[in-house]
């Protein structure tokens, strides 16, 4: 009996050591990420000064010009983070969000959208024409328009960053949809 209890103590101690070692590893990773500046931090995206300032100017629907604030989110069918962000929306596109899907072909885009639970009608499909006007070569990226005017652009490294861009109320409805 005593031998079993001793083994139990040893195993319990080992388990605690392993778990605390994992905690330490994650903390170390966090320190490394912070030092390298690769945490979940959005980076500004540059665009040409001559780029059209309104959403319709780059080929997006005209009604977006009239919205007080709209975020045009560029996702690519070849980027894993884009898939994660699109999946996290659960097929629901909030009012202040417009998605542009970059893809080689319409079939690929339709297949990709089906995989993330979205319909082609709810987004704009682009073969590079829209992105090239903004000289955009990174996804996921967000272009923020206010009153029909381009204010700034940034990368969207995670769904969490998209939530921050969209605001709490809209996100709450998105996550419950």
Partner 1 sequence: MLSFGDEIARCLVAVWFLYAGISKLAAPDALRSTLLALRVPHPGLSAIAVPALEVMAAVFLLAAPRLLLTLVLLGMLVVGFVGAAASALIRGVKVRCACLGRASEGELGWSQLGMAPIWTLVGVWAYFASTSLQGRVGLISAAAMSLVIAVIALRQLLPLWQESRVIVGAAGQERRFW
Name which of residues 27 to 66 contact partner 1 (CB under 8 A).
27, 29-30, 33, 38-40
User: Taking the CA of residue 135 as centre, how many other CA atoms within 13 Å lie in the half-sphere pointing to its CB?
Assistant: 8
Q: Does 8 bind partner 1 (CB under 8 A)?
A: yes
Q: Which is nearer to partner 1, 55 or 140 (CB)?
A: 140
- Nearest partner of 89 among 106, 102, 71, 103, judged by Cα: 71
Q: With contact defined as beta carbons under 8 Å apart, do 81 and 157 qualify?
A: yes
- Cβ proximity to partner 1: between 98 and 102 the closer is 102
- State yes or no: residue 120 binds partner 1 (CB under 8 A): no
- 158 counts as binding partner 1 under rule CB under 8 A: yes
Q: Compute φ and ψ for 31, nearest 5 degrees.
A: -65, -45
| Partners of 72 in the β-ladder | 98, 143
Find the angle CA(140)-CA(53)-CA(108) to the nearest 5 degrees: 35
Span of 12-20, 91-99, 114-122, 166-174 interacting with partner 1 by CB under 8 A:
12-20
Site residues (vs partner 1, CB under 8 A): 1-2, 5-6, 8-9, 11-13, 15-24, 26-27, 29-30, 33, 38-40, 76, 78-82, 84, 102-104, 128, 131, 137-140, 155, 157-160
């Amino acid at each position: 009996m005593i031998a079993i209890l001793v083994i139990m103590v040893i195993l319990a101690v080992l388990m605690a050591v392993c778990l605390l070692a994992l905690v330490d590893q994650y903390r170390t990773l966090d320190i490394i990420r912070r030092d390298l500046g690769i945490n979940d931090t959005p980076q500004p995206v540059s665009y040409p000064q001559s780029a059209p300032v309104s959403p319709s100017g780059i080929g997006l629907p005209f009604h977006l010009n009239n919205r007080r604030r709209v975020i045009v989110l560029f996702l690519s069918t070849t980027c894993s983070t884009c898939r994660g962000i699109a999946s996290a929306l659960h097929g629901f596109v909030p009012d202040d969000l417009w998605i542009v899907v970059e893809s080689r072909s319409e079939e690929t885009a339709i297949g990709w959208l089906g995989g993330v639970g979205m319909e082609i009608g709810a987004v704009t499909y682009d073969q590079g024409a829209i992105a090239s006007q903004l000289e955009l070569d990174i996804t996921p990226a967000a272009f923020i328009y206010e009153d029909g005017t381009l204010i700034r652009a940034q990368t969207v490294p995670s769904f969490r960053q998209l939530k921050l861009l969209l605001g709490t109320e809209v996100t709450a409805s998105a996550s419950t949809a």
